[in-house]
Structure 1
């Protein structure tokens, strides 16, 4: 019996040897992927590096080349740390020791672990690695130990001339506060604000009074020891990292504000990054802004931060997104000013040096600047014209609006008001111009003047409802629509506008009634019929709708009735017939 077992063992050994030889002789398909990943990592394209290192792991599994799996997991963790993706970085670094090719004493793997440990607030494990490193590279071990002390808030890092040269004592205080309690949200946010101030101080030295020489700090010591001095991107990166950690632990109330701050840090990081490098993707920045705009629509701090972001990141005038960015900034500042009840609500709580008394004035000035930019390049001075009546000035203003000469149009409407200060069409049209600019609170003031001059002016009430909706004041907006419909109950479009607002507020019955009125008034309009069918369906199945509704009715009609998964969901509730019936309305 021994020989058959021995023969079986030898045969299996032979097969494994053949497989190994075959793997060694097969073309190395991983090497070019790894080389490309290393280029991405060196250039700061961290997301692309992560993707390629994952491909290395996948290709290695296919070709039985798994000797570097530990390295790939470590590099993935490193690059995810550079992107601020700490959760995944921690998980992948925990996986690395369980992979082929792992050696506890490997200098590279020790260095990767130390970096990820420090970036994820694991100071003690990082210090332990620094101690082990002394046998491999005493000089680097000493450096890692000082960096660990620095991020741990330990003043020992300042004991040597090198430490006093490298490390900023002010940041050391913030580091200590974070190290004592890594889950202290306020401490982390304040350190992020400190990093942003230092970054902006170095990037825009004329706008910031210097306090200390900006040649040290951030997390450059951790990632780029050779270039730890003089690079503002290290401060932007540091702010991005801290804000990413803050977002992991913050409340839903603080999330939108912190997302704007992180978008600003990411934008600054990319702006000063080395050529051909993109540290944080445009999609990540846009995602933060989109979520902040949605979640923080009624939050004063978030709206002010959005206004600051758009005003500070304006593209060149000749770029196609210049005016949309201007309008976004004006909109955000307008919402902040509309909901502001006191100075404190506008202040950034983490920016300790922000004066307590001039926030309102600063926001108004910033908004005025953006409005001025929006109107610039268009002739504001009116030509010499023969004496005109208020009606003629109003018509001339309308012509200028059609030519997108909004600054001149405002002047023309104001000329009309010189003849009659309560000339309702001019008051209304000035509000319309400011609404087009995104200055909704200013537009509201003019619409208020229009309906005060003529309480029966239905268009003014409708326009007033529209800007209140833009400002996020749903209750007052619905009330204005109701006033307009009380004056002109036969206006189908006003009923539709009110219905859209009601549906976006998930007031299904109110929306159903509004759309039904529009469909009754204009039975030939298939769009109104589709809206009415949709509202009826949503009202009868109020517990089912879970999706976000867009102001664009086509979008949410498509979302509701054009999705097979939703149809299946409703079918399970016995409502599929209504789904398909409503789809027929749309067709």
Structure 2
């Protein structure tokens, strides 16, 4: 559909409305626009499906207008509002995302996924108490959801409620033994607390679950290098950066909840000649910005 087609033009194109014909031999009478609500809603749901497919391919500029129109044509569908909120969140329009997700919640208060998405939006805004409240509400409806448990753990982590964070991560792993991100994050906490052997054990477990997981592999490399196992550490670090070079960026690592102790050791590791050589093909170099204390 052309980008600037108005609602009436859109309805004509979709066959949902036709122009009134002029009467003959009498004055023109006003015509009432007859809209079929069921057809409009069906068209809205079809547009939402298109938007979801486009969103899967990261084509948000094409997906968002369809999702917005879908929310007008099918305003009582919580799934459409949930989709629109998710797309807005992906596009970093967090205030709009929260408004759409709250609309979805009002239409279906029992949808735990909407509450988890609201928590994520608040988390991205660094409104951690609001994020915690949303995650907790979602977990009341879906108590064994590994991702919801993990996200609540992250929100506790950001508010320095570390024992509670670890408890949520452990619950996530109890629901899904292969959920390595939770195991990885327990390692992050252990490292900051000075438990280097404990952190290494967690990261080794995470790598054993998924050998293509760059984050625990790089963290393990840094820990082993700091411990003195340098040749193995360098090989692991090179392998991690071949998998995903974003992990050569200290700011990216900070966004992934790496703490100050690990960031400091990682900065030194990334400056090593062999690691610098591994970063060179993409022209990435480590950022040396001073990390604030959490």
TM-score, L = length of structure 1 = 0.28
- Between the aligned partners of 2:275 and 2:95, the Cα distance in structure 1 is 45
Instruction: Name the structure 2 match of 1:199.
Output: none
Instruction: Check whether the contact 1:450–1:457 (CA below 8 A) recurs between aligned residues.
Output: no
Q: Give runs of aligned pairs for residues 323-362 of structure 1, distance below 5 A.
A: none
**1:465 maps onto 2:162 in alignment:** no
Tell me if structure 1 keeps the 8 A contact 2:76–2:107. Answer: no
In structure 1, C-alpha distance between the alignment counterparts of 2:137 and 2:86, rounded to whole Å: 19
For the 8 Å contact 1:495–1:514, the answer to whether it is kept is: yes
1:448 and 2:146 matched: no
Structure 1 alignment gaps of length 5 or more? 1-380, 542-548, 565-579
1:546-587 Cα distance to aligned partner (Å, 9 max, x none): xxx9644884443453679xxxxxxxxxxxxxxx9x979x88
What are the within-5 Å matches in structure 2 for residues 60-75 of structure 1? none
Bigger relative contact order (CA 8 A; separation at least 6):
2
2:222 is the counterpart of 1:514:
no
SS of equivalent to 1:462:
helix
Question: 2:237 aligned with 1:529, yes or no?
Answer: no
Structure 1 residue 491 displacement after superposition: 2.1
Which residue of structure 1 aligns with residue 187 of structure 2?
499
Q: Within 5 A, what are the aligned runs for 1:284-433?
A: 384-433=72-121
The answer as to whether partners of 1:440 and 1:467 remain within 8 angstroms in 2 is yes
Pick from 165, 171, 196 the counterpart of residue 483 of structure 1: 171
Partners of 2:214 and 2:160 in 1: CA distance? 29
Higher Cα Rg: structure 1 or 2?
Answer: 1
Q: Alpha carbons of 1:520 and 1:414: their partners in 2 closer, same or farther (altered >3 Å)?
A: same
Q: TM-score, normalised by structure 2?
A: 0.53
Check whether the contact 1:508–1:538 (CA below 8 A) recurs between aligned residues: no
* Cα shift readout 1:269-315 (whole Å, capped 9, x = no counterpart): xxxxxxxxxxxxxxxxxxxxxxxxxxxxxxxxxxxxxxxxxxxxxxx
Using the TM superposition, give the Cα deviation of residue 507 of structure 1 relative to its aligned residue in structure 2, in angstroms: 2.4
Q: Is the 8 A contact 1:496 1:514 kept in 2?
A: yes
Structure 2 partner of 1:438: 126
| Counterpart Cα distance in 2 of 1:387 and 1:524 | 42
Contact 2:88/2:94, CA 8 A, preserved across alignment: yes
Matches within 5 A, 1:82-161: none
Query: Partner of 1:476: helix, strand, or coil?
Result: helix
User: What residue ranges of structure 2 are gaps of 5+ in the alignment?
Assistant: 1-67, 230-252, 280-294
Partner residue in 1 for 2:266: 558
SS at match of 1:384: helix
Aligned length: 183
Preserved CA contact (<8 Å) 1:509 1:539: no
Q: Which residue of 1 aligns with 2:24?
A: none
TM-aligned CA deviation for residue 414 of structure 1? 1.7
Q: Answer whether contact 1:522 1:528 (CA < 8 A) is retained.
A: no
1:425 to partner: Cα distance: 0.8
Where does residue 46 of structure 2 map in the other structure?
A: none
The structural deviation recorded for 1:391 is: 2.1
Contact 1:512 1:539 in 2 (8 A): no
Displacement after TM superposition at 1:486 (Å)? 1.2
| Contact 1:444-1:467 within 8 A present in 2 as well | yes
| C-alpha distance in structure 2 between counterparts of 1:563 and 1:403, whole Å | 33
Q: Is the 8 A contact 1:499 1:515 kept in 2?
A: yes
Query: Residues 509 and 445 from structure 1, CA distance in 2 versus in 1: closer, same or farther, beyond 3 angstroms?
Result: same
Root mean square deviation of aligned Cα: 3.4
Change in 2 beyond 3 A, CA 1:427/1:524 = closer
